[in-house]
Amino acid sequence: MIRLLWRDITLAFRSGGGFGLGLGFFLILVTLVPFGVGPDGEMLSAIAPGILWVGALLACLLSLDRIFALDFEDGSLDLLATAPIPLEGVVAMKALAHWITTGLPLVLAAPALGFLLHLDSAAYRWLIVTLLIGTPALSFIGSFGAALTVGLKRGGLLMSLLVLPLYIPTLIFGAEVVRRGAGGFLVATPLAMQAGITLGAIALLPFAAAAAIRVALR
């Protein structure tokens, strides 16, 4: 399974692997927002938590359909399904690889982009903490959506429609933690809710995704 994780990470960094895709999108979105809403610092710092979280979420969504579609097209998914690794393990490893190549760079880039949006100084650590806790849920929920649409040509739109509603709780709690952190309020409740969503997604969705892939491979 470590081999699979390592292969997926290697592929993402090789040419055409899509490593920079999510990060680039996140960067573009966040730098464009001040141009769109104007340079008023107070307004920017009020919307910064929401913008950063929405940007991270959309950046994650952008590379989701690659998780299984490429392996389905070149036959790797058939071979992985007959390999000694359980399909649930394949899904979990591919979701983890997606997080490492998409979610983790977003976490690391977010503080710099928060600076561009006048993010309140007290909110930085909560931004990092919530992204670190929340983005794995985006990858695992996304792997489920990608698995459901794996056999479909141009399944990206359908996948976005399936996945976006499932992303909303993570978005609400994530942005809420950052907002409360900026205002100096207690963050324990939304943080615990978000961690619960992430742990639940990691624990349950690989099984659902593996079942969806088995149906798609028939």
Partner 1 sequence: MSLISVKDLTVSRGGMPVLEGLSFAVSAGEVLVLRGPNGSGKTTLLRTLAGLQPPYAGEVMAEPESVAYAAHADGLKATLSVAENLGFWAGVYGGHDIEPALLHFNLDALRERPAGNLSAGQKRRLGLARLMVTGRPIWVLDEPTVSLDAASVALFASAVKAHVAAGGAAVIATHIDLGFEETVFDVTPFKARMDVVRDDFDEAFL
Residues that bind partner 1 (CB under 8 A): 3-4, 7, 10-11, 14-17, 71, 73-76, 78-85, 217-218
> Using CA atoms, how far apart are residues 183 and 166, in angstroms rounded to an integer?
27
Q: Kindly tell me which of 5 and 195 has the beta carbon lying closer to partner 1.
A: 5
Q: Kindly tell me which of 199 and 217 has the beta carbon lying closer to partner 1.
A: 217
The one-letter code for the residue type at 88 is E
Q: Kindly tell me which of 27 and 92 has the beta carbon lying closer to partner 1.
A: 92
Q: Could you give the count of Cα atoms lying within 13 Å of 36 in the half-sphere of its Cβ? A: 9
Shortest separation between residue 20's beta carbon and partner 1, angstroms: 15
Shortest separation between residue 189's beta carbon and partner 1, angstroms: 42
For tokens 């907002």, the residue is 179
Q: Kindly tell me which of 14 and 125 has the beta carbon lying closer to partner 1.
A: 14
Q: How far is CA 55 from CA 15, 86, 140, 153, 181, in A?
A: 24, 34, 18, 26, 19
**Count of helices and strands (H, E) across the chain:** 10, 0
Shortest separation between residue 206's beta carbon and partner 1, angstroms: 17
Shortest separation between residue 9's beta carbon and partner 1, angstroms: 12
Helix (H, G, I), strand (E, B) or coil at 8: helix
